[in-house]
Amino acid sequence: MPSRLNPYISFDGNAREAMEFYKSVLGGDLRLNTFGDFGGQAPGEADKIMHGMLETDRGFTLMGADTPPGMEHKPGNNFAVSLSGEDADELRGYWEKLSAGGTVSVPLEKQMWGDTFGMCVDRFGISWMVNINESRA
């Protein structure tokens, strides 16, 4: 397998719900391992997600997990997950699902650089950017 770079998101106890949501948006194969799968038996932690990986037919990979016991969950505003390409229908579909129940900070619309772009924070507090490349003939 070649090297890859992909987002890895930490959640505060709702990683299963979030990763299943992202699967419903993006499709693909979702694998989830709990702390209990690897012997973690701390009260209330065995069913938490130690590692989740979503791999889609489109080549997207998204990883996530619940914050491990004893570590602080510290959400920040220093990253966003970006989806971009030329398939407007596909990207608009992702946008509609990701922004539903979340907060839109930049509506998905034509921008000064010529592409259609939008930014939102989904219902799990994750920032997303969607850019639909306009063909430049």
Q: Give a three-class secondary structure readout of 14-48.
A: CHHHHHHHHHHHHCCEEEEEECHHHCCCCCCCCCC
The predicted pLDDT at position 125 comes to 93
Query: Start-end ranges of CATH 3.30.720.110 in the chain?
Result: 81-132
**Residues of the chain falling short of pLDDT 70:** 1, 135-137
Fold category of 81-132 in CATH? 3.30.720
The predicted pLDDT at position 3 comes to 72
- Tokens standing for residue 86: 């030329």
Query: Start-end ranges of CATH 3.10.180.10 in the chain?
Result: 8-66
The predicted pLDDT at position 2 comes to 72
At the top level of CATH, the class of 8-66 is alpha beta
